[in-house]
Homo-oligomer: A and B are copies of this chain.
């Protein structure tokens, strides 16, 4: 993979537009303008528009995986702390980090089959990490339910925050994460 600093910078700008407008409504002209170049020059860095999307989604998923791993390594080994750390990490990559993870979650369907197949191992690794942490919480009796469904519900609740959460409001992403974990914990 091409990993020039220039390309990384352009990928970051693309992620921002993809979140604001959606992939389909974002034109190469809009991308070029945001990057301060003309639309023709874009294709020196990316083969086509699809490749820009793939680059954004790869970065977003990779970031999420790295940050989540780091978070659970650095936190106490208790199931509750690990669950909280995962939820916090997820919202951190969604709101505090760049927008790439949001694009990965909401525009995955727009990837062509080849790119999707190539990147699915990253997504699978991230979801496996979640299931692992949730398994720990289940075995500790902290939460209850089916491991698969619990993961899906928690991730759904977290992902949907993109649609309503206002980062300029009074609550921090960490507050949200803690509230969600509190909601599902047996008392």
Contacts and interface: CB of A to CB of B under 8 A. Distances in A.
Interface in A43-88: none
Interface string A132-164: 000000000001111001101111111111011
Interface in A103-157: 109, 143-146, 149-150, 152-157
A135 to B, nearest CB: 15
Tell me the interface secondary structure of chain A in the complex. helix
Given A159-B156, A160-B156, A160-B160, A182 B24 contact: no
A1 interface: no
A187 B154 CA distance: 19
Contacts of A156: 156-161, 163
B25 A145 contact: no
A52 B156 CA distance: 28
Given A153-B180, A155-B160, A156-B163, 15 more contacts: A144-B183, A145-B182, A145-B183, A146-B179, A149-B176, A149-B180, A152-B164, A153-B183, A156-B159, A156-B161, A157-B157, A157-B160, A159-B160, A184-B184, A186-B187
A167 interface: no
